[in-house]
Amino acid sequence: MTVRVIPSGTKPAWHKEKIQDMDTNDKNRRKRQSMTLYVLLGLLLLALLRSFVFPSVINGSVRETSYSDFLSKVDSGEVTKVDLTTDSGEITYQTGEGPSAQLYRTTQFPNDSTLVTRLEEAGVDFSAHLPDESATLLVYLLINLLPLIIFLFGGWLLNRRLRKELGDDNSMSFGGGFGIGGGLGRSGAKEVRGEETGVTFRDVAGQDEAKESLQEIVGFLKNPDRYAEIGAKLPHGALLVGPPGTGKTLLAKAVAGEANVPFFSISGSEFVEMFVGRGAAKVRDLFKQANDKAPCIVFIDEIDAVGKRRDSSFTSNDEREQTLNQLLAEMDGFDNHKGIVVFAATNRPESLDPALTRPGRFDRRIPVELPDLAGREAILKLHANDVKMEAGIDFGVIARQTPGASGADLANMINEAALRAVRMGRNRVSQADILESVDVVIAGEKKKSTVLSEHEKEVVAYHETGHAIVAAVQDGKKPVSKITIVPRTGGALGFTMQTEEDEHYLTTREEYKQQIAVLCGGRAAEELIFGQMTSGAANDIERATKIARAMVTQLGMSERFGMMALGQSRNQYLGGDATLTCSEGTAQEIDAEVQRLVEEGHQTALETLRRNRFKLHEIAHYLQRKETITGEEFMRILTRDDGFAPRMPAAEE
């Protein structure tokens, strides 16, 4: 489908009449196909009922037996009653009395003149009768007509109910599903009118570039003549890519709200069904709904669920590939003059099929990245408008403490702050509430049930102080803003928070090495003071190793390999690691180089703490008493006399 919008006045009247005739003929054809399917299913059901169901109902518990067995039971006195149909020679006899009675059926042997004598000698009650024509006709009608009547009546009720619920007079057609199961092929897309979305560009912050790109689509939907005069064409589709929580769905809703057009929303996973063909039917129905409500916006969230790259592997999914093929066909051949815009969102753009992202389908790619410092502050202010706040809240401080946070994270922080204010019995949110909510989102709630022993508390205090002192000898771009040794539900027994003064987008090799040294500061403090290692540095070691490996394999910052890419990044928006693209021998050399970089940072941290050993003791004991201190308190203790060595060791200079 394309999203090119042409004013309806540019189409001649005969063209519209031709399209209407084609639609009418298509509806009639699908109705005929549906009725044919009903007849075939009815005949099949009738045959099954006659073969398995109704014979057992009519015949009840009468057992078939042989004539010789009948004579043996007569002679032994087991038979109590016999009934003979004279024209057919069918014999129905009974053995036993009361609850133990059992009926049998057999056919009289021709010219057997001794049967009456045997019955009289055995004292059996016997009789003969002609067949009842009315009963025969009733049985015939019961077997042949009743199943067909039940089937047709049930189908009529089901079709009537589906039409009422779906509001579609073609619910029986193939385009709507599988005949009597009408609705199986319904797309299930949620429709919201433009004004009912409740979202406009005023409700989106921190994504100025994305809003600017989407503003053209809004203008085209609201005033297509302006673009048609110059011959401009709208992009056929817009693909929103970015990390989770950055507002991709919100932007699509904002476009619908700004243009005041219907908004159809569906997830890509809803197209993939167990039965082959149903996903394609849902795609057809989705675009049919869009055609009926045009101009409108169709939004497919997580499109990678249905739009993954096709290949010839044995693990391919026929249903998903058929659904993707149908989606490609609909986007390519859809009648675009009505003003239908297709948006899609994904966190994995590299996994999409090239046929889906080529020009003519999703030919505009709009990055929706994590917000920068100004964007985070704008998002915080936007969400704070819905919450009662105290005067003088400094959102800039909070924005600087949350690098890498998405819009969803920031919204959650404001909500957590409001919840904390209610728990504390206040009717307005304070600065302290928001700062505490930052810790909750990053590290989790405080664990009141976890009580550390004095020795463990002392080890954690020295560990976090080691991080802070090593960070303090850096160039001042990321000063320490908070140190705490309160256990959190996220698994941390404490943490040291650094805050960037300004946003920057480039990181030097020396800055990466300083980050590794800061991460090694906790383990170095444990070794220096206690002469042992604990498990508390596990996350620090993991992060330091990840930085060092990226320096070697992706950033070309290794002295050993120089400017050479040795790895390839996967799933960049989902935090995926890089995979090595080198030989096994080179991989071993990479491990050795990564080990060297981490160990270099470890030695730098040890040397820094040795030069500031007295301050390490003083701040750790102070932190152990207070459990949480601010960056100002930390720097005041660190610099109040000559015991602080503010420069990096010579090995790092």
DSSP structure string for 31-71: HHHHHHHHHHHHHHHHHHIIIIIHHHHHHTTPEE--HHHHH
Residues of the chain with confidence (pLDDT) below 50? 1-24, 55-60, 165-184, 314, 648-653
Contacts of 380 (CB under 8 A, 6+ apart): 395, 398, 399, 410, 413, 414
Residue 108 lies in a domain: yes
**Rg of the chain on CA atoms, in Å:** 40
Q: How many whole angstroms separate alpha carbon 302 and alpha carbon 253?
A: 15
Looking at the structure, do residues 247 and 201 belong to the same domain, yes or no?
A: yes
Q: How many whole angstroms separate alpha carbon 608 and alpha carbon 588?
A: 31
Looking at the structure, do residues 552 and 612 belong to the same domain, yes or no?
A: yes
Looking at the structure, do residues 526 and 438 belong to the same domain, yes or no?
A: no
The pLDDT, as a whole number, for residue 213 is 86
* pLDDT tens digit sequence for 281-333: 888 888 888 888 878 888 998 898 888 887 755 455 677 788 888 888 888 76
Looking at the structure, do residues 252 and 391 belong to the same domain, yes or no?
A: no
Predicted model pTM: 0.68
> In 424-537, where does DSSP find H-type helix?
431-443, 454-472, 509-530
Q: How many whole angstroms separate alpha carbon 384 and alpha carbon 408?
A: 13
Looking at the structure, do residues 546 and 462 belong to the same domain, yes or no?
A: yes
Q: How many whole angstroms separate alpha carbon 179 and alpha carbon 182?
A: 5
CB 97 within 8 A of CB 106: no
Residue 200 lies in a domain: yes
Which tokens sit at 297?
A: 């916006």
Looking at the structure, do residues 476 and 419 belong to the same domain, yes or no?
A: no
> Residue 562: what are its φ and ψ, rounded to 5°?
65, -145
Q: Map tokens 């809240």 to a residue.
A: 393
The pLDDT, as a whole number, for residue 144 is 64
Cis peptide leading into residue 235 (ω within 30°): no
| E-assigned strand segments in 65-124 | 79-85, 90-95, 102-107
Closest Cα partner for 519 from 452, 455, 464, 596? 464
The CA-atom distances, in angstroms, between 170 and each of 154, 241, 278, 587 are: 18, 37, 17, 62
Range of the domain at 470: 454-652
Q: In degrees, to the nearest 5, what angle opens at C-alpha 581 toward C-alphas 576 and 584?
A: 120
* pLDDT tens digit sequence for 189-245: 777 776 677 788 888 998 888 888 888 888 888 887 787 788 777 777 889 999 998
Looking at the structure, do residues 428 and 471 belong to the same domain, yes or no?
A: no
Q: How many whole angstroms separate alpha carbon 532 and alpha carbon 602?
A: 15
Q: Map tokens 């101009």 to a residue.
A: 295
Contacts of 410 (CB under 8 A, 6+ apart): 371, 376, 379, 380, 383, 402
Contacts of 594 (CB under 8 A, 6+ apart): 545, 548, 549, 552
Half-sphere exposure of 519 (CA within 13 A, CB side): 22
CB 482 within 8 A of CB 496: yes
Looking at the structure, do residues 80 and 183 belong to the same domain, yes or no?
A: no
Q: Map tokens 């994904």 to a residue.
A: 346
Residue 419 lies in a domain: yes
The pLDDT, as a whole number, for residue 618 is 93
Which tokens sit at 549?
A: 């490996």
Residue 150 lies in a domain: no
Residue 166 lies in a domain: no
| Residue 546, burial from CB neighbour count under 10 angstroms (0-12, 13-18, 19+) | middle
Looking at the structure, do residues 344 and 201 belong to the same domain, yes or no?
A: yes
Of 141, 165, 198, which one is at a domain's C-terminal end? Answer: 141
Of 367, 383, 402, which one is at a domain's C-terminal end? Answer: 367
CATH number at residue 130: 3.30.720.210
The pLDDT, as a whole number, for residue 559 is 84
Residue 54 lies in a domain: no
Looking at the structure, do residues 400 and 342 belong to the same domain, yes or no?
A: no
Looking at the structure, do residues 309 and 412 belong to the same domain, yes or no?
A: no
The pLDDT, as a whole number, for residue 410 is 93
CATH number at residue 385: 1.10.8.60
CATH number at residue 208: 3.40.50.300
b/e per residue, 460-490, with b = 16+ CB within 10 A? bbbbbbbbbbbbbbbeeebbbbbbbbbbbee
Handedness of CA 95, 96, 97, 99 (dihedral sign): negative
Looking at the structure, do residues 226 and 333 belong to the same domain, yes or no?
A: yes
Single out the catalytic residue among 377, 458, 464, 526: 464
Residue 357 lies in a domain: yes
Q: How many whole angstroms separate alpha carbon 374 and alpha carbon 93?
A: 97
* pLDDT tens digit sequence for 423-447: 999 999 999 999 999 988 888 888 8
Note if 464 is an active site residue: yes
Of 411, 443, 475, which one is at a domain's C-terminal end? Answer: 443
b/e per residue, 33-68, with b = 16+ CB within 10 A? ebeebbeeeeeeebeebeeeebeeeeeeeeeeeeee
Q: How many domains does the chain have?
A: 4
CATH number at residue 538: 1.20.58.760
Which tokens sit at 509?
A: 């090799």
Residue 384 lies in a domain: yes
